[in-house]
Amino acid sequence: MSFVVGVHAGPSSAVAELRAAYAEGRAALDEQVTRVVAVPGEASAEAIAQVGIALGRERARLVDDLLVRLFSATREPREGGWGASERSIWDEVALAAVGSYGRGAVALRSDLDLRIIARDVQEAATVVESLLYPLWDMGVSVGHQVVSIEDLIASARDDLPSATTLLDWRHLAGDRDLSESLWQRAVTGLLAHSELPLFIERLRQEVEQRHARFGGSVYLLEPDVKNGAGGLRDLDIARWASKARWGAGEVEALVRFGALVTREAAEIRAAEDTLWRLRNLLHAGANRRNDRLTFDKQEACAAALGYGAGDEAVERMMSDYYRSARTISRTLEMLLTRATPTLTRRRRHEEDLGGGLRLFDGCVALANPPDLRTDPALALRAFSVAVERGLPLLGPTREAIARASAEPAFCAALRESAEAAQRFLALLVTCKETQLKSGSPIREMHELGLLLAMIPEFSPVVGRVHHDVYHVYTVDVHSVAAVDRLAEVTRGDLAAEFGLPCRLAAEVSRPEVLFAATLLHDVGKAIGGTEHSQRGAEMAQGILARLGLPPQDVAEACHLILKHLVMYHVATRRDLDDPAAIAEFCREVNGREGLRNLYLLTVADLSTTSPTSMTSWKARMLDELYLAADASLAGQVVDDERLDRAVAEATRAVASVPLAEEAERAELHAFTRDYLASMPERYLLSNGAPAIAAHATVAWEQERSQALARVALVPSRHPEAAELCVAAWDRPGLLAALTAAIAASRLVVHAAQIHSRTTGAGQIQAVDLFWVRDRGDGVEGVARSIPKLVRDMHAVLSGEVEGAALVQQRAASFRERKSPRVRTQVKVDNRASPRHSVLEIFTRDRPGLLFTISDALYQVGLSIAVAKINTEGTRVADVFYVNEAGGEKIAPGRRTAEIRERIEAVLRETEREEGIVG
């Protein structure tokens, strides 16, 4: 886009015309974005394409016209002109674009970076004022610096931004000789061939430091499209390295130099344009520079770019983003490696390894890379030798394999190779540590494209993401990480954290079954929707048969994939002290070996879903379920022995409770006998002796004082949460009252146990346990909340205040930032327990939620026997074992529908009241 200023106009009128023309041009650019955003989903493909890098280039051309003509219109006038022997200060300076503007594209609301290079910096002040004041009047945000050639070259030796300014430098107006002289000084000095390794190392350090600030993963939930890993700044770094090495940074030029092949260039251009479209939309939405793709912006961008509305639309858009960011991340590493010259002249050690491989400078290398076309198994042979010898793959060998893996003919031939299949399986189950660049064989194979070459069915899950805050990684990255976690467990690296899994992993007899199932457990997510376990099991049959697994191993691996969510759901949503629940679970597994494999797969899956998904209590529940199911499958009946041992250990623990008076000690000891006899077996089996002793002391103090309730912090077995013990006289709605006080004290409940007992005097005493964290200060803040909690609990139990009012006060001060929707669901299961109905409640987490649910259950006339609290990011999956007032289960039909509808209505209403939107 350009505009014309009358050549005979005076300086002030010319500037006025420029101002009007620039405003018109900027409005036209804004209109291009408005056409896409105004009516989401209705913009044409051409209009959407124009808001990408094309818009950035158009803005750069608009500003180029403005600056060049402004430079001409405002240059120092002199009546009669300048003589042949005279020079104006305007002839002693050069105006240049740097940064993104220097590279020829500026995002919609990004600043412009300018440099004025002058022979005399002091005298150049006139030029600076003449240019900048009109620009500021026009609303143009400009970053500028006036420098001399000597100063800029000197600072570039120690200051990386100054060095990259030289690489982005684009002459706009003034003395072109100054710009050319600057470039020649840079090429012969800072960017000389001998200096390139040091310069590129400085670029690598910048990448590491920036990624540490903005998040080191491409797969962040709310990525920064400019500065994050795989963002546009990474592409800038790659261009700087290329410009320093070959004198050009654009992909078309790099193809001509042989630094890129045509396919790579096309992938880079597409990835760059994807990020540019998102960045321009973010700028337009905020009407300022804004590069973070937050959850609410994801939904707006998905709609504007034609993906549609809802979670699936966002997931498709974010999948495209992650694929693009991954392409840019690979491009960065690839061009940094290719641009680094080899300067050493020392003699390199070479050795023929046979099979088309050689040892070169401590790395495994292809003897003749073109042999990959006729011998595709050579790629996996290189991996095998590298793993066996504990060596990395040579950089050019990695690139040759990556290029071959992008060719359909190579991939087809690879899948036909029996040797390739055999080596792939062997590498998949390799647990030894390696020197491969990506760390593990499976991760390295995925990085270079060999995983997709061997298993093309895996391709649709590459970059596939869940629009929630629980599944942090894309499906492919999570699947590879789960395999790596399994290898770590097998090596025993995580014995302190995963003691039982590490012991059991050493006993696995058919690792191919377990590792293959782990790799493919989510392959069924390729097409979205539900029932991915069933689809994955069906897909895996053909994949594993093609890889050469025996039929019985294929069947076992497919069964693991089909059932890979069952153990987690049972552990977190069922009463593990209910023999019926254990018996039902045992019917889902293929014997003790199948149980062990499912347990290890579950641990690998859950612990790599997100950095915080495997909490200590989830790990404990999985361990307890495994041990109970293994004992059942082995025909062992050990509950009586465990119960006797638990009572004995608890009795000894109570004896060590410090009390001032001997009479009190005797009283507590007598109370403990009644307490242990009256508490349910599930309580005695699920808590350790020190904890039981602490609980008994709290219950004793409450009973002897006849207080409404007694509250105490007791030693917690979970490092992520403090354990709160509440002893109170039981009554309908007690749990709702207790959780109201807990919510009002800013405490978040992460797990709970609900118990009751009959005292010797015939009273019903509740002993309820809550594992809590302070919403702001974590575990450390819980102790400070106890005085307020005691006051609030007394107030609500005595009737001074209603629980709903307490929770409402707390919710009024809480405003949560927007995050993805969570669908509210209530399920009633009458088959899971012989004595209770099981309610499963799935909804968005929020302050006071446990009170809201328990109060709703009280209002519909249900009593709670067991509560299992489970949080998955912002989604809760809470389970309650309940009975009607008379002790019977919920009747099917109308009564079940009434309860489900009532609870769903209460949850939706609280969402509206608290301003929680999906």
Chain segment 182-212, per-residue pLDDT in tens: 999 998 888 888 889 999 999 999 999 999 9
Mean of the pLDDT values across residues 652-681?
Answer: 83
Residue 473 pLDDT class (50, 70, 90 cuts): confident
Mean of the pLDDT values across residues 888-896?
Answer: 94
Among 531, 534, 637, 628, which Cα is nearest to 586's? 628
Mean of the pLDDT values across residues 277-290?
Answer: 94
Write the class of the CATH domain 196-339. Answer: mainly alpha
pLDDT(24) > 80: yes
Predicted local distance difference test score (pLDDT) of residue 527: 64
Mean of the pLDDT values across residues 256-281?
Answer: 94
CB 648 within 8 A of CB 673: no
pLDDT(494) > 70: yes
Angle separating helix axes 160-168 and 176-188, nearest 10 degrees? 120
Predicted local distance difference test score (pLDDT) of residue 825: 92
Predicted local distance difference test score (pLDDT) of residue 685: 79
More reliable by pLDDT, 226 or 640: 226
pLDDT(917) > 80: no
Predicted local distance difference test score (pLDDT) of residue 637: 61
pLDDT(260) > 70: yes
Domain spanning 11-76+87-191: CATH 3.30.56.10: no
Counting Cα atoms < 13 Å in the Cβ hemisphere of 567 gives 35
Mean of the pLDDT values across residues 437-447?
Answer: 93
Predicted local distance difference test score (pLDDT) of residue 192: 86
User: Could you tell me the strand order of the sheet in which 747-758 lies?
Assistant: 709-714, 722-729, 764-774, 747-758
Residue 812 pLDDT class (50, 70, 90 cuts): low
What global pTM score does this model have? 0.84
pLDDT(628) > 70: yes
Predicted local distance difference test score (pLDDT) of residue 686: 79
Main-chain dihedrals φ then ψ at residue 96, nearest 5 degrees:
-135, 150
Mean of the pLDDT values across residues 343-351?
Answer: 65
Q: Chain-wide mean pLDDT for the chain?
A: 89
CB 855 within 8 A of CB 803: yes
Following DSSP, what letter does each residue of 322-344 receive, concatenated?
A: HHHHHHHHHHHHHHHHHHS----
Predicted local distance difference test score (pLDDT) of residue 301: 95
- Please write the tens of the pLDDT for every residue from 357-401: 999 989 999 999 999 999 999 999 999 999 999 999 998 899 899
Among 76, 181, 168, which Cα is nearest to 119's? 181
Residue 640 pLDDT class (50, 70, 90 cuts): low
Residue 243 pLDDT class (50, 70, 90 cuts): very high
Find the Cα–Cα–Cα–Cα dihedral 884, 885, 886, 890, rounded to 10°.
-10
Between 313-317, 466-470, 493-497, the lowest mean confidence (pLDDT) is in 466-470
Between 186-195, 637-646, 728-737, the lowest mean confidence (pLDDT) is in 637-646
Name the 3-class secondary structure at 140: coil
706: exposed, middle or buried (C-beta count within 10 Å: 0-12, 13-18, 19+)?
A: exposed
Residue 8 pLDDT class (50, 70, 90 cuts): very low
In the numeric block, which tokens belong to residue 549? 């697994």
Give the CA radius of gyration of the chain. Answer: 34
Between 284-288, 676-680, 818-822, the lowest mean confidence (pLDDT) is in 818-822
- Please write the tens of the pLDDT for every residue from 572-604: 999 888 888 999 999 999 999 999 999 999 999
Main-chain dihedrals φ then ψ at residue 749, nearest 5 degrees:
-85, 125
Residue 682 pLDDT class (50, 70, 90 cuts): confident
Residue 348 pLDDT class (50, 70, 90 cuts): low
Q: How far is CA 45 from the centre of its chain?
A: 30
**CA 82 – CA 858 distance, rounded (Å):** 93
More reliable by pLDDT, 641 or 806: 806
Percent of the residues in the chain that have a pLDDT greater than 90, as a whole number: 63
pLDDT(872) > 60: yes
pLDDT(621) > 80: yes
> CA dist 765 to 728, 754, 786, 796, 802, Å?
6, 11, 21, 17, 22
- Please write the tens of the pLDDT for every residue from 599-619: 999 999 999 998 888 988 899
Amino acid, res. 711: V
pLDDT(528) > 60: no
Domain boundaries, given as residue ranges, for the chain: 11-76+87-191, 196-339, 700-913
Mean of the pLDDT values across residues 18-34?
Answer: 92
- Please write the tens of the pLDDT for every residue from 843-871: 988 888 899 999 999 999 999 888 888 88
